[in-house]
Chains A and B, each alone.
Chain A
Amino acid sequence: MANSASGPRTLFQKIWDNHVVHAEEGRQTILYVDLQLVHEVTSAQAFEGLRLAGRSVRRAERTIATADHNVPTTDRNLPILDLVSKKQIDTLRDNCKEFGIKHYDLNDPNQGIVHVIGPELGYTQPGMTIVCGDSHTSTHGAFGALAFGIGTSEVEHVLATQTLLQSLPKTLELQVNGQLHNGVTAKDLVLYLIGQITTDGGTGYCIEYTGETIRSLSMENRMTVCNMTIEGGARAGMIAPDETTYEYLRGRQFVPNDFDAAVERWKQLPGDQDATYDKSLSYNAADIAPQVTWGTNPGLVAPVNGNVPKPSDFADPTDQKTAAGALDYMGLQGGEPICDLKIDRVFIGSCTNGRIEDLREAAKAAEGKKVSDHVSAMVVPGSGQVKLQAEAEGLDRIFKEAGFEWREAGCSMCLAMNPDKLAPGERCASTSNRNFEGRQGKGGRTHLVSPAMAAAAAVAGHFVDIREWK
């Protein structure tokens, strides 16, 4: 299918239709890209490809770049010791200069994780198509944009043509109604949803999150939900824009000059009354407890007041094998109460949970307390702006007094490409999005949790049910 149907349309269909440059039976559609975000790890080969083919960047002003994955989170005034990382960061700077692309360099106050700075600076807007050579580009869908991760060949394609070849995905509605329990956050909500649909349940779909629970979430919480969409296999997740969206964007640096006119346009985006999805599933917020992953993919998750499952708890033989392998890697037997799991490290940050509201929640749980003797804990703000804001609110002081390290912005131990990493066998409560084997360091054991749960675990030395934390 090259075109979506006429008649009532979903949010996704409207954005898709608005961006079709060329559609033809039996071909992928050429879709216009409004904004491309670029970082150091997945772009060097794309720029090199342009140079080799003698091509230029079609719309340099529609791309912004920053270095985040590789960057040290310690003192920025010191030289970068890892020379290979340094070369990659330097290469991004040189490429941006050569091709005329706006670049937020290491010492820019707006530097940060690409998915944090895009929204923060107002680049991310409703109705846009947004791509980046990074799977967590789904984050930007929180604004009612169609945003997804692409490979480096596609980064080059977008640089050269400002378009992308795409096949029409199916649409999946995940509706959540009811009120979340106190202490249950957007992170718990999305981990729960991934646990329900499993890590490949969204493959081939674009997800739209709907329902009163989703509507009641703040913008930053919506970003947490959309961020983790890819962990359920769907490349894109979106939430229709509403007053919450417009209020978040108002006054940000790169929003349209005539903001009110833009809002009027954005108001046309939410799905029509009778629009239907290829598939719809609904959930009750009241069923959701704080979540902790126990395995080596984000779908292997349990309520904090539950136990680690055993392979025999799964019916399917492939699932049993996956669970057995995961338990072995995680140093677990199966059957342990989650709250009994002792931890060695805590990481608070990432594009999932490195924004100001996340840090406020974590600081609230840590205030006036001390990090357990056997735990080392770090807080890494998602951007330079988040860091400044947190310092203005005194959150850094709360963290430091409790014994957390307070770092510079970057991806840090979310993927441990810089010097921040786990040692083999170390168990970590992490607010990031992936618990794959070796993700935070070879042999490291990652449990994904919300910011408050991570902070409380740092203090207690083991997981605790945040609903009972005083």
Chain B
Amino acid sequence: MKSFTTHTGLVVAMDRANIDTDQIIPKQFLKRIERTGFGEFLFWDWSQLDDGSPNPDFELNRPEAADASILLARRNFGCGSSREHAPWALEDYGFRVIIAPSFADIFYNNCFKNSMLPIRLSEETVEELFSRAAKHPGYQLTADLNSCTLSDDHGFSTPIEVDAFRRQNLLKGLDDIGLTLEHEKEITAYEAAHGITAS
């Protein structure tokens, strides 16, 4: 897994709550058996008009959003399906950080497995970021996982909370499976104690 230490990037604001994984990557793209190449299908139904041309009103299609790598949204981001295709699509498109007042559990977890940092902030702080993004053209934020802060160049700075274990894994780009297998003896002992044997 790629590591994540610090990231500075352009912010795109999506003023919507409950953005579900069906919107992030619609089902017709889940038939693929690869893990990459989902970025071009990100938010497919919102990003296109009925005739298949790009929807100029969609947040990510606006010229000023090109190259955005930080996504700002409202509460309950990533609700719905467990499909990891959702973080795959976001990551493949170029996002590294997602900021919202709350995230659905499975999505939140899936982000960490894909070197993306989901940041939970209070409703008020998110509101503040929406207004800053509206005020400053080309608005950028820096997420620093070493110091656990999120800041901009205009005097904004807030601490971010990340579970210590996930933070370490992200900083070092560690592979969860490899880490767990360091405890293989304990797994074997658990199986022995519970009468679990190969059938």
Contact = CB atoms under 8 A, between A and B. Distances in A.
Contacts of B187: 21, 30, 32, 58, 161-163
B151 interface: no
Interface string B23-47: 1001110111111000000000100
Contacts of B113: 151, 153-154
A157 interface: yes
B34 A203 contact: no
A467 interface: no
A39 B120 CA distance: 31
A28 interface: yes
Contacts of A297: 18, 20, 79
A204 B105 contact: yes
A30 B180 contact: yes
Q: Report the contact-size class of chain A (Cβ under 8 Å from the partner).
A: 35 or more
Given A297-B20, A318-B17, A203 B106 contact: no
A156 B198 contact: no
A272 interface: no
Contacts of B20: 297, 436
Interface in A2-45: 21-22, 26-28, 30, 32, 41-42, 44-45
Interface in A157-179: 157, 160-163, 165, 167, 169
Q: Report the contact-size class of chain B (Cβ under 8 Å from the partner).
A: 35 or more
A42 B82 contact: yes
A201 to B, nearest CB: 10
Nearest to A326: B18
A233 B105 contact: yes
B96 interface: no
Contact of B190 (A32, A415, A439): A32
B82 A233 contact: no
23 contacts: A22-B186, A42-B84, A45-B33, A45-B35, A53-B177, A88-B33, A149-B82, A151-B82, A151-B83, A151-B109, A152-B84, A153-B84, A153-B114, A156-B177, A157-B180, A200-B75, A203-B104, A233-B104, A318-B74, A318-B75, A319-B17, A321-B16, A436-B22
